[in-house]
Structure 1
Amino acid sequence: MRRASISALAVMLLPLFPVTAPGEEDEALPDLVVEADRDSVVPEHFAGSATVIDQEAIAKSGVRSVADLLATQGGIRLTSSTGNTADSTVHLRGFGENSSSRVLVLIDGRPINRPDMAGVSWLEVPIARLEKVEILRGSQSARFGDNAVGGVINLVTRGGSTESTVVEAAGGSDGYTLARLSHRSLIDGNGITFDAERNFTDGWRDNAFSELQTASLRWDKQLVDWIGADFGVSWADESGGFPGPLTKQRYLLDPRQSIYAQSGQGDQYFSEQTRWNADGKLTFGTNKGPTFEIPLSIYQRDLAWNFGPGFHTDNLLDTFTLSPRFQISGDSWSAEAGLSLRRDTLDLSQYAEIQRLNRTTDASLERDIVGIFAGAQWEPWKYWHLSTSARWERSSVDASARSYTFPNDPALNFSRSTDESNTAFQAGIRWEPNDDISVWLRYDRLYRLPSTDEIASYQGFPLTVPFNDQLQAETGHNIELGAEWTPDAWTLRVNGFAQWLEGEIIYDYLQNLNVNLADTRRLGLETSLGYHTGMWDAAFHFTALQAEFRSGPYDGKEVYLVPNRELTATLACHPKDWLTVQAEYQHVGDSFEGNDFENTHEKLPAYGVANLLVRYEPKPGLSLYCRINNLFDERYATIKYSGLWYPAAGRQLLIGIRREL
């Protein structure tokens, strides 16, 4: 099957290659000017499917968090165990369980994925701070390394030479309040950017509250003609509750209830965390010559996790990253090479009670990743753009745990280490015969490292094997073939892909262990249609996908928690310059519930959710908006495990005002 698929793609590509008859004069190749946008990760001639949500679309979205923006404007499926989209997991390319470890999230090109299975906080970067959002679908391991198996999401913050001030306030149902401020000034060549936000909701479900305060300060300046500097610091304080799952009977009776609150233990199920990040970048060189960048980041998360009586954990995470990069370009080519260094350290203490009086467990974990990478793109013939990237990385993990309650239990007392090396490769070609048409083909050799939680039971929840040094990175192949046509006001994109993973990592609840369970295959077709005029804006995204096991005891069975179809549609009408009415709809097909390897249990049902946004702009820079999420109060769940449901939010109202100066 694999050879047949590759051969079919090759046959489809052959007619596209240009043939020059003897005696014909070669046409002069135009100069390829490589001008990367600030912190953009989308190449000018990207051999793949990319979506960019620009600053105007962000300003008019009227959403609470980046997660809402990705769902409504980016066509991305979200799941949440609390009903709050702000703490959602994003899903790309047919990954269900542990998808957060298979989608790489960047801020200005800097990775922010955690080494454990914790997801990214989508409230960490306020909407007002964003200049644009870039979504690259499909594996990008060769370019970015770990976590990029399903795709990459890059959040680009505001900068440049424009001064601005944005103030936003909103309120709504379930006690929701929002206050945002973003300001950028230019003083004697110094760019100063300040952001602050407070975001709070009681939550649609009981014990599903969410609260966040965040602030950041950045400075950038062109020190001399050939040296630029950009430094910043950010802080966030966040807390949230856990409502827990429901049986089907409870779910049908009242999806807003919490089993923990019903039992009088809601105050034992919540988390609190404080995050600090300092990062900077020095850039040496000019636009007309080679450049050398030195980006450095230091991150700390201090998390207090309370998951019921006896499970109270303090977790301190420190992450250090350094990725020096050298870039050079010519008339029709560009190239880059560099190093990637990352060190994660986690220190954990678990207590028997929420007051943190009696310590039951101490644990620590260290992970180091060292890699080298290189890439190039060039234009060998007119209209044709080739690109290639390669990466080698070596990772090592050291973990230790000590239980004061059960000091002789080897599952809770250990000190172990493991290491491995992996390589990734990418080659792509893009054909652009004119400004309206482009066709691409890309191959990826990919990998995804096990997260620390998958290897070791250092969090105090014992696995059958306390430190699984037999667990290896999942590796595989990905092939993309797509085309885009942009006549006048229309945009049509079709992209087909096939991905094979060897030894996909899955939690086997029968063994109580994360294992390289089986080989898997994902086949999909993505289609996008857009229409933009003065009065109407429309966007349509549809994905048909099949994900199944291709070896082992579940050969031929579908991978659970992966729907076969996803659809997102947006229609906006501007009857007047000052009025916008926008309807949004997202449909997600049914899927097998979590842990249903045999595909025999009741499925997680399909659902469709509609939203409505009305935006009034009495004068430029001032807007009032009203958003209704889940307009028809659809009852649905995005996650179901072993017969237990995690309900999503019902109808919610949001009213806000935004002022930009």
Structure 2
Amino acid sequence: MKKIILPSLLVTQLFTANVFAETAVKPSGVVVTANRFSSTDFNANQSIKIISRDDIDNSPYSSIPDLLRSQAGIKVSSQYGNQGIDAIVDMRGFGESAIGNTLILIDGQRLNNVDSSSIQWSSIPLSNIDHIEILPGSGGVLFGDKASGGVINIVTNKSGKNSSSIKTTLGSYDFIGLDAYLSGSNKGFYYNSGISSSKENGYRENSQSVSNAISGRVGISSDRYDSFIDYSLYQQENGTPGAISSSVFNANPKAARFQNNFQRKDGFKVRPGLNIKISDSLEFSSEFSVSRQGFKSDNPDFPSKSYRVIDTYTFSPRIKWDHNFSGLKSSSVFGFDYILGKLNVNNFGNANQSAEDKSYGIYLQNTTWLASYLNLTSGLRSHHNEQKANQDAYTSYGQYNPYVQGETSQNKKAYEISLNYFKDNWGGYVKNNQGFRFANLDELYGYDQNYISTFYGNILKAQISKNNEIGLLYKSNVFDARVALFRTELTNEIAYNSLLGANTNYDPTLRQGLETNLNFKITEGVDVKFIYSYLDARFTSGSLDSKFVPSVPKEAGSFILGWNNQEYGKYLLQANYVGSRYFADDIQNTKDKMPQYLTLDAKATWKINEFKINLTGLNIFDKKYAQSGILNFSKTDYFYYPANGRSLYISAEYEFK
């Protein structure tokens, strides 16, 4: 994508936005993850947590992963800086395999790729987000594969309200960013679009990056139907300095292990959809999506070079029926999901590989209101998955390796039953559910003695998770509290086993813990938030019995102090703590742990008429730390992915009236 395209689009669209009348097409603040239909009933599922648009605006963070890391039970491992490049979001302690156990959605449709490549976070401009829904520990019935740790649903703004804004940001390490948002509607036609472009040299050597993205929706809506097309287009390239040894990290965390390696990602997604309100009690929705992601990895310091392409096709029709069950208000959702993912990898100088993942499933979920303050939700999904992979013949160090192929077919079920209560100021829930996950396509491959990616024809068994959870909520004008206790048992957990040098099915494992959110309104303009999680993630049988899962801290938390004064502006101070945890690959727990760390971030916002000025400071005390690390192959040294040092940003935003 040419670097001039997005700035040109900003100017063109901002000045054409005001031709539309200010007519709202859809209400904002809807919750989708409760039943895969837009709903304003937040009491249907008490375990859902919401990051509101105000939370996003007040946060000091400019990427979705950083927004999420201050939520109880969520850990983020970012390898390259503050922009979310290759960041992995981990719900409830899956460590290095978190990408296959935390399901990321946008408007109810999955963003996870069929391989283990990271989410392209920069393809979703923050300006285009209405709110974010977090559903911990469940989601297998409604959404299927990869929801063992939970579901995060990014809901975009579809209000159609006439609005446009532009923001420019300057910051540390020569960061410059340009963002814009615009939306409008006229006689049923509506649209919204978010545009983002940024460039920086980076905190570390060879950590420069350039990113451009545009995404949005155009549609036609009435009281009875909504037809639309969602779209996104993105490009990102960045240096990949790699992990550095402990001695280098202690001497100079800005150093790069690889001075010349880089990667480039580009892609698009188009998703037409339709929602029809057939009657007052019957509603139909369906989407079809086509997406492509290209990933070029050029590593002259290895040396190695590859180019992979992922093509994904999805189809998800569903119907919602509001009815009475034995005289009780009920709502049932029946749906079908089809997902086809194709992976093709050209490994220059080594064997080419290809793989395919095809899934389809049907599900039924019913919610019955036993009373105005109490509902019972139950659901079942039956899912079929087919995977196949192959590798061309190749010669490595004089040894001939023949063509290899393999395939498998598996059927799995997910279920859930939950009881949700909310009356006056009190709420709570209990739930029991089972989910599953199939291997990501690149998890079918291992490495030979020369560290060359190799397929041995091995297809992994599906992972099964069983979760029990209880939560208690209280909400008043001055105090908001949420506490959850959970226990998740897993069989055939899919993860990389460093003892074998391959992805395997582990012996049984366990996750159990506590998550707490406490919000206090001290005065009319002063708020305090305390977020804490305790997590015990370990093996429960086999040769690794009682060993802890690497990369998973037992404790993590945030303390947030906010002051909002109409005359003097808004101010926020946020402290984030992450406890010690074993390095990745140390599944025997024989080495030292990664150090705990505490960082402090701050933000100040001033609004003058249509202008808004933001001043942000991240890692104010310049703490030297790493969010992720790994042992070297011989298990004799520790390698770190250093986090950014002190970073300062100033932005100016103008909202057109």
- Indicate whether 1:387 and 2:382 are aligned: no
Tell me the equivalent position of 1:509: 498
> Where in structure 2 are the equivalents of 1:423-462 lying within 5 Å?
423-432=413-422, 434-457=423-446, 462=452
After TM superposition, the structure 1 stretch with the greater mean CA deviation from structure 2, 307-316 or 343-352, is 307-316
Does structure 2 retain, via aligned residues, the 8 Å contact 1:243–1:258? yes
Name the SS of the counterpart of 2:121 in structure 1: coil
1:175-221 per-position Cα deviation (integer Å, ceiling 9, x unaligned): 11110111111123210222221022211111112211112342111
Tell me the equivalent position of 1:340: 337
Tell me the equivalent position of 2:241: 243
Does structure 2 retain, via aligned residues, the 8 Å contact 1:492–1:527? yes
Distance 1:399 1:487, change over 3 A: same
1:314-369 per-position Cα deviation (integer Å, ceiling 9, x unaligned): 111100000100111136110010110000011221214xxxxxxx4322211100
Q: Distance in 1 between matches of 2:70 and 2:611?
A: 22
Does structure 1 retain, via aligned residues, the 8 Å contact 2:31–2:133? no
Corresponding residue to 1:230 among 224, 228, 231: 228
Name the SS of the counterpart of 1:518 in structure 2: coil
Does structure 2 retain, via aligned residues, the 8 Å contact 1:442–1:481? yes
Corresponding residue to 1:350 among 339, 347, 358: 347
Q: Distance in 2 between matches of 1:323 and 1:48?
A: 25
Tell me the equivalent position of 1:634: 623
Name the SS of the counterpart of 1:553 in structure 2: helix
Q: Distance in 2 between matches of 1:225 and 1:536?
A: 41
- What is the letter of the counterpart of residue 153 of structure 1? I
- What is the letter of the counterpart of residue 546 of structure 2? G
Q: CA deviation at 1:244?
A: 1.1
Corresponding residue to 2:642 among 641, 647, 650: 647
Corresponding residue to 1:300 among 276, 281, 292: 292
Q: Distance in 1 between matches of 2:217 and 2:305?
A: 35
Does structure 1 retain, via aligned residues, the 8 Å contact 2:237–2:262? yes
1:430-449 per-position Cα deviation (integer Å, ceiling 9, x unaligned): 122x2310121000111111
Q: CA deviation at 1:302?
A: 1.5
Distance 1:362 1:622, change over 3 A: same
- Indicate whether 1:362 and 2:352 are aligned: yes
Name the SS of the counterpart of 1:97 in structure 2: helix
Tell me the equivalent position of 2:281: 289
1:369-418 per-position Cα deviation (integer Å, ceiling 9, x unaligned): 01111101011245321001111111111212114445996866312211
1:228-247 per-position Cα deviation (integer Å, ceiling 9, x unaligned): 20112221011111111111
Does structure 1 retain, via aligned residues, the 8 Å contact 2:101–2:437? yes
Tell me the equivalent position of 1:55: 53
Does structure 2 retain, via aligned residues, the 8 Å contact 1:364–1:458? no
Matched residue count: 610
Does structure 1 retain, via aligned residues, the 8 Å contact 2:73–2:92? no
- What is the letter of the counterpart of residue 298 of structure 1? V
Q: Distance in 2 between matches of 1:74 and 1:93?
A: 9
Tell me the equivalent position of 1:313: 306
Does structure 2 retain, via aligned residues, the 8 Å contact 1:107–1:154? yes
> Where in structure 2 are the equivalents of 1:469-618 lying within 5 Å?
469=459, 471-532=460-521, 534-618=524-608
Name the SS of the counterpart of 1:454 in structure 2: helix
Q: Distance in 2 between matches of 1:73 and 1:377?
A: 27
Name the SS of the counterpart of 2:561 in structure 1: strand
- What is the letter of the counterpart of residue 553 of structure 2? P
Does structure 2 retain, via aligned residues, the 8 Å contact 1:548–1:556? yes
Q: CA deviation at 1:76?
A: 3.4
Q: Distance in 2 between matches of 1:654 and 1:76?
A: 25
Q: CA deviation at 1:156?
A: 0.8
Q: CA deviation at 1:226?
A: 3.2
> Where in structure 2 are the equivalents of 1:93-112 lying within 5 Å?
93-112=92-111
Does structure 1 retain, via aligned residues, the 8 Å contact 2:393–2:404? no
Q: TM-score, normalised by structure 2?
A: 0.89
Q: CA deviation at 1:535?
A: 0.7
- Indicate whether 1:114 and 2:113 are aligned: yes
Tell me the equivalent position of 2:18: none
1:444-493 per-position Cα deviation (integer Å, ceiling 9, x unaligned): 11111111111135999646762212x11110210011100112221011
Q: CA deviation at 1:293?
A: 1.1
Q: CA deviation at 1:127?
A: 0.5
- What is the letter of the counterpart of residue 262 of structure 2? F
Q: Distance in 2 between matches of 1:225 and 1:407?
A: 67
Name the SS of the counterpart of 2:59 in structure 1: coil
Distance 1:411 1:512, change over 3 A: farther
Q: CA deviation at 1:283?
A: 1.3
Tell me the equivalent position of 2:78: 80
> Where in structure 2 are the equivalents of 1:36-185 lying within 5 Å?
38=30, 40-42=32-34, 44-72=42-70, 76-87=74-85, 88-185=87-184
Distance 1:194 1:598, change over 3 A: closer
1:595-621 per-position Cα deviation (integer Å, ceiling 9, x unaligned): 2122120110100111011111123x4
Does structure 2 retain, via aligned residues, the 8 Å contact 1:507–1:513? yes
Distance 1:409 1:296, change over 3 A: farther
Does structure 2 retain, via aligned residues, the 8 Å contact 1:502–1:518? yes
Q: Distance in 1 between matches of 2:627 and 2:216?
A: 36
Distance 1:492 1:287, change over 3 A: farther
> Where in structure 2 are the equivalents of 1:401-412 lying within 5 Å?
401-406=391-396
Does structure 2 retain, via aligned residues, the 8 Å contact 1:363–1:458? no
Tell me the equivalent position of 1:214: 213
Does structure 2 retain, via aligned residues, the 8 Å contact 1:48–1:442? no
Does structure 1 retain, via aligned residues, the 8 Å contact 2:60–2:602? no
Name the SS of the counterpart of 1:330 in structure 2: strand
- What is the letter of the counterpart of residue 187 of structure 1? N
Q: CA RMSD in A?
A: 2.2
- What is the letter of the counterpart of residue 358 of structure 2? D
Q: Distance in 2 between matches of 1:510 and 1:411?
A: 23
- In structure 1, stretches of 5+ residues that fail to align are 1-34, 353-359
Percent identical pairs in the alignment equals: 25
Q: Distance in 2 between matches of 1:48 and 1:504?
A: 28
Name the SS of the counterpart of 1:98 in structure 2: helix
Does structure 2 retain, via aligned residues, the 8 Å contact 1:62–1:627? yes
Does structure 1 retain, via aligned residues, the 8 Å contact 2:28–2:130? no
Name the SS of the counterpart of 1:453 in structure 2: helix
Name the SS of the counterpart of 1:123 in structure 2: helix
Q: Distance in 2 between matches of 1:72 and 1:623?
A: 24
Q: CA deviation at 1:96?
A: 0.9
Name the SS of the counterpart of 2:65 in structure 1: helix
Distance 1:371 1:411, change over 3 A: farther
- Indicate whether 1:280 and 2:272 are aligned: yes
Distance 1:260 1:270, change over 3 A: same
- In structure 2, stretches of 5+ residues that fail to align are 1-26, 36-41, 632-637
Name the SS of the counterpart of 1:128 in structure 2: helix
Q: Distance in 1 between matches of 2:181 and 2:28?
A: 25
- What is the letter of the counterpart of residue 651 of structure 1? R
